[in-house]
Amino acid sequence: MTNISSLGEFGLIRRLTADIRPQNPSTRYGIGDDAAVLNFAKDPHTRTLVTSDILLEGVHFNLEYVPLKHLGYKAAVVNFSDICAMNGTPTQLVVALGVSKRFSVEDLEELYSGIRLACDQYGVDLVGGDTTASMTGLTIAATCLGIVDDKQVVFRNGAKPNDLICCTGNLGAAYMGLQLLERERIVGEQDPERAQAAFEGKEYILQRQLKPEARRDVIAALRKAGIIPTAMMDISDGLSSELLHICGQSQVGCAVYADRIPIDFQSAAMAEELNMDIVTCALNGGEDYELLFTISQKDYERIIAIDDVSIIGYITRPELGCNLVTREGNEIPLRAQGFNAFPEE
């Protein structure tokens, strides 16, 4: 028997879906990207996007320090982010819950207040779902639909040698926020009489972990600038993992410069406090929900005019591999060390 951990999440998906072929003409693109692309709209140029995500208590979140309202907001936004990663606009959301007996009606109302807030902020309709009993705590499964123009949809497989590699925002902040929350949880268990957690001056990294945002603002800026990325996905499992997905599906290599990876001051300060390497955290931390995308070099002048976008490297020929270029100019092969949904026991 094959252990699931030996394949990992994406290896398992490939194993289970390798021989699946669409049978309906309305399925334009199926398994293998941030969202499926369907042809349902009456407008021949509009495509429907569909994505889903599941959050499990004890795996993806810890309710000892994650407020239910924040959790609801995050559960919605991570799906919106997948739609944005296809260069689309999220439009509808369906949410299914598995709930154990320890949760009250008021708890679920608080969770839904976060989901509804996210939908209101992003102009998304909450259109349905399901609720069932759970023996293992709280499970949130959400499905999001969106729309995109057929000529503007962006997949992971379009990167070409000499394309520029770009990312939005900064990286590692959500992971450092998680490290801070975990540290304070442990300290609180050891010292129950402590007055309050040491969160002062670290509000930004806490927000990045507890209340992420989908980068629809950058999607709008790219459209306004007339830039269509050659490949794109959101950064949920870590920069290294996502780069390797783009390069693998595009059959290319890459060179990413460590000193060009955008890092916020609070993230760097938290890493120093915890004696961690912030570049490693930025590469492998995950949950930033920033956008990673590639563009043609001809779009250089237009991309540098867009706020909060950094050029961090370039696409190479596949035989050159996928490498991190250190501050000293050394090349280190990138490894996918981000979140693993199926770790070894």
Q: Are the CB atoms for 160 and 71 separated by under 8 Å?
A: no
Q: Over the stretch 34-53, which tens digit does the pLDDT of each residue have?
A: 688 888 767 778 999 999 99
CA distance linking residue 164 with residue 313, whole number of Å: 6
Could you give the percent of the chain with pLDDT greater than 70?
87
Residue with tokens 């293998």: 32
Q: What is the value of pTM for the model shown?
A: 0.90
Mean pLDDT of 226-251: 96
Identify the pLDDT of residue 31: 64
Residue with tokens 């900064």: 170
139: left (phi over 0), alpha (psi -120 to 50) or beta: beta
Q: Over the stretch 180-204, which tens digit does the pLDDT of each residue have?
A: 999 999 888 887 766 666 788 999 9
Q: Over the stretch 93-148, which tens digit does the pLDDT of each residue have?
A: 999 999 999 999 999 999 999 999 999 999 999 999 999 999 889 999 999 999 99
Identify the pLDDT of residue 9: 59
Domains of the chain: 4-149 (3.30.1330.10), 164-333 (3.90.650.10)
Residue with tokens 């990876």: 261
Question: For residue 334, how many other CB atoms are within 10 A of its CB?
Answer: 22
Comparing C-alpha atoms, which of 89, 99, 15, 100 is closest to residue 51?
Answer: 89
- Pairing of β 322-325 and β 253-257: parallel
Q: Over the stretch 240-276, which tens digit does the pLDDT of each residue have?
A: 999 999 999 999 999 999 999 999 999 999 999 999 9
Angle, helices 216-225/68-84, rounded to nearest 10 degrees: 20
Q: Are the CB atoms for 141 and 95 separated by under 8 Å?
A: yes
Report the SS3 class of residue 51: strand
Q: Over the stretch 272-302, which tens digit does the pLDDT of each residue have?
A: 999 999 999 999 999 999 999 999 999 999 9
Identify the pLDDT of residue 342: 44
Comparing C-alpha atoms, which of 246, 239, 341 is closest to residue 288?
Answer: 239
